[in-house]
Structure 1
Amino acid sequence: MELTKKSALFNRSVSKNSGSGWWNFATLLIALLVSIPVLTVAANIFIPSGDIWQHLASTVLPDYVKNSLWLMIGVGIGVFVIGVGSAWLVTMCRFPGSRWFNWMLILPMAVPAYLMAYTYTDFLAFTGPFQSLLRDLTGWGLGDYYFPNVRSIGGAMLMMSFVFFPYVYLLTRAAFLEQSSSLLEASRSLGATPFQSFYKIALPLARPSIAAGMALALMETLNDFGTVDYFGVQTFTTGIYRTWFGLGERAAAAQLSGFLLIFILFLILIERWSRNKMNIRQNSTGRYKQLYIYDLKGWKAWASTLFCSIPVLIGFLIPVGILTEMMISNFSSAVDARFIQFSLNTVMVASIAGIFALLVALVMAYGVRLNPNYLTKISTRIGAMGYAIPGSVIAVGILIPFGWVDNTIDGWLRENLGISSGLILSGTIFALIFAYVVRFLAVAFNTVEASLGKITDNMDEAAEGMGYSFGKILRKVHIPMMSGSLFAAIMLVVVDVIKELPATLIVRPFNFDTLAVQVYRLASDERLAESSGAALAIILVGLVPVIILSRSIAKTRKTSKVEKE
């Protein structure tokens, strides 16, 4: 009897491995395809690019490195102070407005950094509302006072800090909510003040989450193009764009992309090191106790309210208010026929990219479920690493091989048939969609993988017993059960695509613009009022994931008041 059971299990295993072979092949093939941009950039690093690379290395490359490092340092400090400080206050303290700040502190995530740069440049200009009000109140005139120039590397640091801090805030707050209350209670019993409990207990335990949030924020900093280009700050993203389009040097642009990848790899290694270094085991039962929080009073309460209000005000309310006023005052030019066309273009490419990213993520996640071997897991992780790669790098890594394919086909047709095929891949929407899928595949893959992991293997075995193939199991069993997560995956990709600027600028076909490109173009021409409609549309769409996050962020742990400050 025992032998019969073992034989049946062995036959089932053999049948599963043989039947799922094509899933494994499809997973590996897709992972290879979406890795093409990174592999292309890596392969072009050591290709000689002539005198142009020597010229770049002796003139602008030091500025690219210096400015990128300063941006990382400045933004890193900014997002740490704002993100960690606000996360601790809204999680462990009660003060006027604290419950509202739970979700309001996520709102700046909906505003792209380049929109912040455009709106505040107009708002803080000499003829702008802020300085005009300042002169009216003080009676000052031209030359009577000094006002810092927002279009500088310092201004870029501030803009990015107030937009990217939610990455740190979200992960750090989740870490504070998951911490064992026993350790915090012990620190109180030993006479520790709230600040000492935060600095010596909570902050070290949350270090992996803080490092992960800061890594995401700094990756977005290195990926940014619109802000640094508008402020005249030379970084790798602006250098890649100008080397490609201004100088027409693909090899040099690829080598600049390779340098940028080194920065990204450094951030990933730092984040992994911080996670592995911090291996403290907490009392798991303490996670299910209510968190004891501080009820702040007096100046401490109002100081906490002010601290949490500033990032919401600067990062969301002011830019949205400025853009809304501009759109209302210039409605006919802000919402015209071009706005409708650019909106249709944006929705089209975002929807197609979202659907393709979901399909690719489904194949990869299901392939890992059927064949959870080392090769499959590693290949899917490599294929889903595009989110960590700046859009400008992905764009260069796509156009180089696609351009080679187009030129090869066109050359063969000209030589043998006397006709020209034109740009089949690199000059079409296909390349743009491919860039989006590579860039944001991780967003869909992580969502699908997490949802698929909640379905027990017993469901698969029952369906197999009914004679279902693996494809039918996915179609009839898994997809209906994951419908909510699949919709969320598409929406998250769509939102990211709509906000993406660097990859769109480089890869888009001729005479094909999206809302992001239109905002960039008009703002660069100092026509921000005309771009206000498109800018507000981008922000409103960006609120979708913010709403999803705000509904779930406070449901993980109950809190109760314990002591007053």
Structure 2
Amino acid sequence: MIALYKSKPWTFISYTLALGLIIPVLVMLVGGISASTQLFSHLWQTVLPTYLVNTLWLGLLVVLLALFFGVISAAIITQTNVFFKQQLRWLLLLPMAMPAYLVAYLYTDLFDYAGPVQRMLRSTFTWNSPADYWFFDIRTLPGASVMLALVLFPYIYMLSRGAFEQQDENLFRASRLLGLSAKKSFFKIALPLARPAIAVAASLVLMETLADFATVQYFAVNTLTTVIYDTWLGYGDIGAANALASILMLLILFAVLAEQRSRAGLRHQSNRPNLNKELIQLSLSQQIMASLFCWSLVVSGFLLPLALLINMALEYSDVEQLTGLLSIGINSLKMSVIAATIAVFIALILGLYQRLHSDKYAKIPQQISGFGYAIPGTVLAMAMLSTLGPLDHWLNDSAEFLGFTPPGLLLSGTIFAVVFALVVRFSAIANGTIISGIKQIPHSLDYAPATLGAKLNRSLIKVHLPLLKPAIVMAWLLVFVEAMKELPAVLILRPFNFETLSSKIYQLISDEMLEQGALGAILIVLFGLLPIVMLNKSEKKI
């Protein structure tokens, strides 16, 4: 912290921005608490307990499966001499680029009764009807859990892998001197030390699971996100929807607090760890099994769905579809570029304010602004409608009172609402990336410009922003990709006659016509690969 830099305007702007990002959530919570509708009471007495149980089961199953996939694959890559280690190291991140609802549709199309797998089985064994054989039903709660786990386990893999790689090898050498085998050393030392990172990753997976809408909707698994959507659009009762959204918010808040409590008091094992790993030497059969496990995750989570999309695009796409998707793609690009630019700009203001000001409360704006990531898109859309709708009515009433023509829905009925929701939702991603980049700047570079008489603005332009360029680019890409993939908030808040790639593909999936949008789905996946490629390049430079 530098006492030389005390800018009251900057302080005011930082707190104003943070408050602006959190106000919609506060409005929604107040509306949910004060809501007293017959519909909510009816839902609570009939189906809501079942929806709540489904939500809890879905979150639990997805987290357990993601932990199984992610921790084991991270351990294999970091602790052993498995085949194709360097290739699998970054290939295991690829499923992160694949939206869960795409994977859900593609696997349903593959394994459904009319799909190629069951057709082949009936042809091979001369079965005539479903009564002749048993085949699993993918459109169930366990099936939805597997679909979500296949695309969310990279969160756990990435953070677990980083934790394993940063562990002090001297601890493992000491354990072997005490008679522990490599297997026991992993379970008694490596795994407990990685627990904080694994807990953070598990909480991210849980939040993404609770925020999912399209996958559970397509699989007809009733959860809190689907009932919130149905209550608002089906019954037109925003008060009951706010009350339901408040319940979901409490669940997420409980999960975040439980994660923080689980790693309270844990410390890193060493300030200067020995990172020269002694890999566990697997036998030939063990290497084959370990490699097959990792490759199965890459194939099932990314390569097979991508191959199915490419096959659909080659078989069904034409020039007319490409032209239509191009205009929709421009809408997605415009929306995502604006949201990513604003989110990164706010992250820079709040991150540098936290770094360069002596105020002991300088962390508060950045912490408040990142709260939106824990809010599902459906809930956030309710918050936006509860906030911007009354503002629009007030603006129209004021204009009419002053004798002007009412402007209409300037806030809630335009792309402004969508961009605002995306900025609130993904500011935490920009904040985390920018803060990580700021921490890599030596504190001496904060003091040097001031000692030379440079003003704050000149110091930022000449010193901090050039050093933060890689972090700015990565933060922008991450928010851009997440905005491209966001569905629930866009689906509810988009203006009339305004489609994005995600909303159009969801509608095609709902109509069992993804073939017509396969090119757009591929485009979303390709955009999702951008930050993964950037991460891989940055790791190679280290």
User: What interval of TM-score do these two structures reach, taking the shorter chain for normalisation?
Assistant: over 0.9
Query: SS at the partner of 2:114?
Result: coil
TM-aligned CA deviation for residue 211 of structure 1? 0.7
TM-aligned CA deviation for residue 36 of structure 1? 1.4
Contact 2:170 2:274 in 1 (8 A): no
| Greater mean deviation of Cα atoms: 319-328 or 374-383 | 374-383
Alignment of 1:124-139 (within 5 A): 124-139=111-126
Letter in 2 for 1:222: L
- Which blocks of at least 5 consecutive residues in structure 1 are unaligned? 1-11, 557-565
Give the structure-1-normalised TM-score. 0.92
Contact 2:5 2:358 in 1 (8 A): no
1:496 to 2:486 alignment: no
Equivalent in the alignment of 1:4: none
TM-aligned CA deviation for residue 190 of structure 1? 3.2
Q: Following the alignment from structure 2 to structure 1, what is the Cα–Cα distance between the partners of residues 533 and 316?
A: 29
Alignment of 1:18-33 (within 5 A): 20-33=7-20
Contact 1:71 1:221 in 2 (8 A): yes
TM-aligned CA deviation for residue 470 of structure 1? 2.0
Aligned with 2:513 (options 527, 536, 547): 527
1:41 to 2:28 alignment: yes
Distance 1:510 1:182, change over 3 A: same
TM-aligned CA deviation for residue 472 of structure 1? 3.1
Equivalent in the alignment of 1:218: 206
1:75 to 2:94 alignment: no
Aligned with 1:274 (options 256, 262, 280): 262
Letter in 2 for 1:176: F
Q: Following the alignment from structure 1 to structure 2, what is the Cα–Cα distance between the partners of residues 69 and 255?
A: 18
TM-aligned CA deviation for residue 466 of structure 1? 5.2
1:104 to 2:111 alignment: no
Equivalent in the alignment of 1:258: 246
Equivalent in the alignment of 1:293: 279
TM-aligned CA deviation for residue 392 of structure 1? 1.4
Letter in 1 for 2:46: T
* Identity percentage of aligned residues: 39
TM-aligned CA deviation for residue 418 of structure 1? 7.0
Q: Following the alignment from structure 2 to structure 1, what is the Cα–Cα distance between the partners of residues 265 and 216?
A: 34
Equivalent in the alignment of 2:37: 50
Q: Following the alignment from structure 2 to structure 1, what is the Cα–Cα distance between the partners of residues 252 and 183?
A: 33
Equivalent in the alignment of 1:428: 414
Contact 1:334 1:532 in 2 (8 A): no
Cα displacement string for residues 374-420 of structure 1 (whole angstroms, at most 9, x for unaligned residues): 43312320111211221112111111110001111222334552733
Distance 1:464 1:174, change over 3 A: same
Q: Following the alignment from structure 1 to structure 2, what is the Cα–Cα distance between the partners of residues 525 and 372?
A: 57
| Greater mean deviation of Cα atoms: 321-330 or 484-493 | 484-493
Aligned with 1:156 (options 125, 144, 154): 144
Alignment of 1:518-557 (within 5 A): 518-552=504-538
TM-aligned CA deviation for residue 270 of structure 1? 1.6
| Greater mean deviation of Cα atoms: 410-419 or 116-125 | 410-419
Aligned with 1:373 (options 359, 363, 368): 359
Alignment of 1:118-197 (within 5 A): 118-142=105-129, 143-197=131-185
Q: Following the alignment from structure 1 to structure 2, what is the Cα–Cα distance between the partners of residues 509 and 497?
A: 16
Contact 2:167 2:274 in 1 (8 A): no
1:417 to 2:403 alignment: yes
TM-aligned CA deviation for residue 91 of structure 1? 0.6
Cα displacement string for residues 327-383 of structure 1 (whole angstroms, at most 9, x for unaligned residues): 000121784222011110000011111111111111111221232434331232011
Equivalent in the alignment of 1:238: 226
Equivalent in the alignment of 1:356: 342
| Greater mean deviation of Cα atoms: 198-207 or 105-114 | 198-207
TM-aligned CA deviation for residue 146 of structure 1? 1.1
Aligned with 1:382 (options 368, 381, 384): 368
Alignment of 1:466-481 (within 5 A): 467-481=453-467
Equivalent in the alignment of 1:6: none
TM-aligned CA deviation for residue 468 of structure 1? 3.9
Letter in 2 for 1:242: D
Letter in 1 for 2:341: I
Equivalent in the alignment of 2:75: 88
Equivalent in the alignment of 1:8: none
TM-aligned CA deviation for residue 94 of structure 1? 1.2
TM-aligned CA deviation for residue 452 of structure 1? 2.5
Letter in 1 for 2:511: D
Distance 1:189 1:467, change over 3 A: closer
Q: Following the alignment from structure 2 to structure 1, what is the Cα–Cα distance between the partners of residues 232 and 261?
A: 35
Query: SS at the partner of 1:424?
Result: coil
| Greater mean deviation of Cα atoms: 515-524 or 179-188 | 179-188
Q: Following the alignment from structure 1 to structure 2, what is the Cα–Cα distance between the partners of residues 334 and 491?
A: 30
Q: Following the alignment from structure 1 to structure 2, what is the Cα–Cα distance between the partners of residues 332 and 471?
A: 52
Contact 1:106 1:550 in 2 (8 A): no
Aligned with 1:345 (options 331, 338, 350): 331
- Which blocks of at least 5 consecutive residues in structure 2 are unaligned? none
Letter in 2 for 1:89: I
Cα displacement string for residues 113-152 of structure 1 (whole angstroms, at most 9, x for unaligned residues): 1111111111111121222222333333322111111111
TM-aligned CA deviation for residue 421 of structure 1? 2.1
TM-aligned CA deviation for residue 205 of structure 1? 1.2
Q: Following the alignment from structure 1 to structure 2, what is the Cα–Cα distance between the partners of residues 528 and 405?
A: 38
Contact 1:334 1:531 in 2 (8 A): no
| Greater mean deviation of Cα atoms: 123-132 or 109-118 | 123-132
Alignment RMSD (CA, Å): 1.9
| Greater mean deviation of Cα atoms: 335-344 or 346-355 | 335-344
1:16 to 2:16 alignment: no
Query: SS at the partner of 2:280?
Result: strand
Distance 1:333 1:229, change over 3 A: farther
Letter in 1 for 2:116: P
Query: SS at the partner of 1:296?
Result: coil
Moved beyond 6 Å, runs of 4+? none
Distance 1:413 1:289, change over 3 A: closer
Query: SS at the partner of 1:192?
Result: coil
Letter in 2 for 1:117: A
Q: Following the alignment from structure 2 to structure 1, what is the Cα–Cα distance between the partners of residues 529 and 127?
A: 40
Cα displacement string for residues 158-210 of structure 1 (whole angstroms, at most 9, x for unaligned residues): 00111110111111111111111122122223333332222222111111111
| Greater mean deviation of Cα atoms: 469-478 or 111-120 | 469-478
Letter in 2 for 1:440: F
Cα displacement string for residues 527-553 of structure 1 (whole angstroms, at most 9, x for unaligned residues): 011121111111111011111233455
TM-aligned CA deviation for residue 465 of structure 1? 5.0
TM-aligned CA deviation for residue 110 of structure 1? 0.6
Query: SS at the partner of 2:221?
Result: coil
Distance 1:488 1:242, change over 3 A: same
Equivalent in the alignment of 1:7: none
Query: What is the count of residue pairs matched by the alignment?
Result: 540
Aligned with 2:191 (options 191, 194, 203): 203
Give the structure-2-normalised TM-score. 0.95
| Greater mean deviation of Cα atoms: 97-106 or 257-266 | 97-106
Q: Following the alignment from structure 2 to structure 1, what is the Cα–Cα distance between the partners of residues 406 and 275?
A: 71
